[in-house]
Structure 1
């Protein structure tokens, strides 16, 4: 296996770990287990930064901005629309099943959440996790825009660069929450660091497989030292990107050292076939896990006690939730026509009828030019 393929697999494992850790806090039983709470208090420092950093590292710079935008709409925004519609249907179905007196008005409230979400620029009423998808999309566009600016000729490059940085400063200062725009500076930072590290590695560490070198052990050591030191000096280390609890100095350094610590751990997880395969699949199904894990958890809340101390039951239900999300990811990809809404077009082997639909004049205009329809 080549270094590039191996490195990407390590990153898939790390993204799988990240997405699982992000879903864990949604369960009410977390507070029942002090050890789990302590672990979450540490994991919150790196669980979300890991996913964003790796997304920046894997960001392709082959496409121009227009083509990049098309691909991100196809891979992020289009599935988001599918998630919004499917979750609305699922919530209405659950409402009808569990309500003693289901009413038309009650069902319509779930449908009305969709136009309300568009009006307010927030999909929290449908699924609070969707903020992450939109923030990642906007952050990636910001990074791509920055890279386009850096390729411009002088002096226009500096004029656009100053404008770009002023916009980031305004977003960071004013906290514009429509469509989670306030998260753009934070996501841009981690994406830029990931992308930047890739460029540094290519130029300075190309002779050795850096992520497998013994030097990587320095990162978990650094993370433990920083965490211990900052905590004992009474520094606030409760980093929480979702809550905008973040700064650009010591918390950034602490979280980045945590990101590399996770990547270092993945080199050993890679040697465990079952765990390796499971985490890689979780990475591929990451947006499905974000989209559906809360709804599945809500169903579990109706059927089971998620607050009383029952470690075996809670562990089983949590893993079952992840597995069910992965099964939805696997199943929908085999459903003709429906899968078009949920998956990037370049990842689907289309049937003749699907190709005919996509080539119709009303739909074909929205298909990115880079995607060849056989």
Structure 2
């Protein structure tokens, strides 16, 4: 393995940590353990920003906007649709199995409600975590649009950039909850910060080597000192991206310190084979974890006691949930045809039958040619 390939692994580890931290708060038993609640309060400010910042850092600017859009639809929107449909089927099966009285109207209601969710721009009733996928998609498209506008000839680029930022300011000010657009400003901010830091580190900080330098130690020191000082002066750390609780001053700075603190810790986790492999795999299966962990938790609620003090059981259930999601990710990738809906095409070794299926006239119109070309040149 080349040195650069090895070093880039800390981003996968960090994204895996971010995903694992996102799932902890979904369990009711977190309120039973004071130390876990305190831990949640500390990591709240960094768990989502870490994933978004790294997504911005890893964003490639070599694709045209159209090509980029096609890849994001293939990598985010297509799997999201597959997750929604599969979870709807799972919820119907779960309803039939656990309900004392089963009616066709209630069972069919899960399907009828799909149109209502799309119209209202919210899939919370299916999985509350799906807002994150849509917000990430819109944020990445917005960042790509910004980078494209920046390359326009002057003065046209100044005009469009002015309009661009005015729209972002309006969206951030009114925060109308319309099809996830309220999340665009803050997701764009973290993605842009991640992308910008990559540009800066490439030019002035020797690229990814910076994350292995002794200078990184300053970030965890500043992060924990900042946490201590804010608590000391009774400044509330009210940070919740899902609830639109954030600001563009001290919470933004604190969250960035948290992001670099996670990256600093990842350089040591990288040296522990088991943890390294676990978090890297969680990163690869990140959307499967987001999609299925709540449903699995709901099954656990029926089967186990999640309200009484039982740290061993709760720890086991939490990690088994993550492992089950990773196993689903691994299993579905081997299922022909089904896997097309859940994974970006470029990540699948398609067989001849799948290629013929995608080239059929009814399917091919929805598959951009460049995605096929990228798959062929892998």
TM bracket (short chain):
over 0.9
The answer to whether the aligner puts 1:9 opposite 2:19 as a matched pair is no
> Could you say which residue in structure 1 is the equivalent of 2:306?
306
> Could you say which residue in structure 2 is the equivalent of 1:151?
151
Give 4+ residue runs of structure 1 displaced > 2 Å after superposition: 1-4, 368-374
> Could you say which residue in structure 1 is the equivalent of 2:348?
348
> CA, structure 1 residues 357+208, in 2 after alignment: closer, same or farther (shift >3 Å)?
closer
Contact 1:113-1:125 at 8 Å conserved across structures = no
Contact 2:44-2:239 at 8 Å conserved across structures = yes
The answer to whether the aligner puts 1:324 opposite 2:336 as a matched pair is no
**Deviations 1:28-83 (Å, cap 9, x if unpaired)?**
00000000000000000100000000000000101010000000000000000000
- 3-state DSSP of counterpart to 1:170: helix
Taking the aligned partners of 1:7 and 1:27, their CA distance within structure 2 comes to 33
Pairwise CA distance, 1:353: 0.8
The root-mean-square deviation of aligned C-alpha atoms, in Å, is 1.0
- 3-state DSSP of counterpart to 1:209: helix
Pairwise CA distance, 1:227: 1.0
> Could you say which residue in structure 2 is the equivalent of 1:247?
247
Pairwise CA distance, 1:176: 2.1
Question: Counterparts in 2 of 1:256-267, with a 5 A limit?
Answer: 256-267=256-267
The answer to whether the aligner puts 1:283 opposite 2:272 as a matched pair is no
> Could you say which residue in structure 2 is the equivalent of 1:65?
65
The answer to whether the aligner puts 1:122 opposite 2:122 as a matched pair is yes
- 3-state DSSP of counterpart to 2:122: coil
TM-score when normalising by structure 2 = 0.97
Pairwise CA distance, 1:4: 2.8
> Could you say which residue in structure 2 is the equivalent of 1:40?
40
Aligned residues, how many?
374
Taking the aligned partners of 2:244 and 2:275, their CA distance within structure 1 comes to 32
Question: Counterparts in 2 of 1:1-374, with a 5 A limit?
Answer: 1-206=1-206, 209-371=209-371, 372=373
Taking the aligned partners of 2:123 and 2:72, their CA distance within structure 1 comes to 19
Taking the aligned partners of 1:85 and 1:313, their CA distance within structure 2 comes to 31
- 3-state DSSP of counterpart to 2:251: helix
Contact 2:201-2:207 at 8 Å conserved across structures = no
Pairwise CA distance, 1:162: 0.6
Pairwise CA distance, 1:207: 7.2
- 3-state DSSP of counterpart to 1:164: helix
Which of 233-242 and 121-130 deviates more?
233-242
Pairwise CA distance, 1:369: 2.4
TM-score when normalising by structure 1 = 0.98
Contact 1:45-1:255 at 8 Å conserved across structures = yes
Q: Which runs of 5+ in 1 are unaligned?
A: none
Which of 331-340 and 206-215 deviates more?
206-215
**Deviations 1:138-163 (Å, cap 9, x if unpaired)?**
00001000000111110100110011
**Deviations 1:196-222 (Å, cap 9, x if unpaired)?**
000000000127811111110100001
**Deviations 1:153-212 (Å, cap 9, x if unpaired)?**
101001100110011011111112122110000000000000000000000012781111
Taking the aligned partners of 2:82 and 2:208, their CA distance within structure 1 comes to 43
- 3-state DSSP of counterpart to 1:336: coil
